[in-house]
Structure 1
């Protein structure tokens, strides 16, 4: 999606130059009396935008969306104002149109991405299990022992009410499909059905369900449930 957004911004820049030259040939804010103010203003907008590119969390699509929309509005909005004030003709109208096009397309790209990639833990779990009854759940977690060395603990769940709890309570947890997610092995959950074993590995912010990798967009209800239940933990045997 980042590549698509970069292409969108590049396309807006190309349209600005090509259509602008045909629309008002010879009129350029860089050659007007406001050229110095335009350079300074553009630099003031560019520096925070460049800093934002390096520090923004690209996994948070809401922040990324509004960051891009603000950059588009500031850049072409400032350009439209300078063209209106210092350049003859109606070139500023193109800049205003590019703001509308940029915002609409940015919003649309994120809307489509959300529909294609966002899901819930319950939806993915149901697809994985395919309505087959779960007979047992084994959980492996990483802990620090009394010597502050990493070790593993194991808990086994065979009570059907508790199994149902683990299936239903975190079901609304929002996930985002992404190959760039990096689920750790803080927790490993093995779900047993009559015919096979399913494996989930997860940390606070990422989860792997079979071969699929996801960012966790909500609070990690699965970890909260594990830590909230009084499970019988013992040294790992697998």
Structure 2
């Protein structure tokens, strides 16, 4: 592994860690008992995740392309703007960043897990879950959300954004997806965002936690990968 790739992997790890720390952090703030932000609702969560993406990109863009998302990495490789040889290392770094970010969220809210008796709410801090469990439509929702994400990110490369403004626009994109499409599944639209924290939920001694719902976990992994791939393929059809 060359030094350049190593630095890029550090960037993807750090950026995804910040993304999960702030993203899962806002969910914890809203849902855990005796949090000062308890009950703030979906608007706080959607805005918080948009800001989490923006800041995760700003914190890592000097080291890597700041994909912070295996579906984005796959889409960029399909679009021909990212080397295939780096796809798997990026995905691993992103997922590990998700694990560590979730562990820090657990530590930050440590006293609140014991106060929160709802195990499904606790899982919801770490991993996504459907409002109505229907695997086909849950997959479709993740597919559509990530299709929009990857297609838009590639379209942005043809615009005239300055480098400094691009992370803000990406954060607005995530916020829009959350507001408009996220109510069905909690909009993972990022396999590392779901898998990394779900692993953390599985291994951590979290008070009052239940099962990690691995039966659903394939949806926020395969749905985003498929949506991102199709988004990139369709982008390639644009002259």
What's the TM-score bracket when you normalise by the shorter of the two chains? under 0.3
Which protein has the bigger helix share? 2
* Higher RCO (C-alpha under 8 Å, 6+ residues apart): 2
Q: Is the strand fraction higher in 1 or 2?
A: 1
TM-score after normalising by structure 1 = 0.27
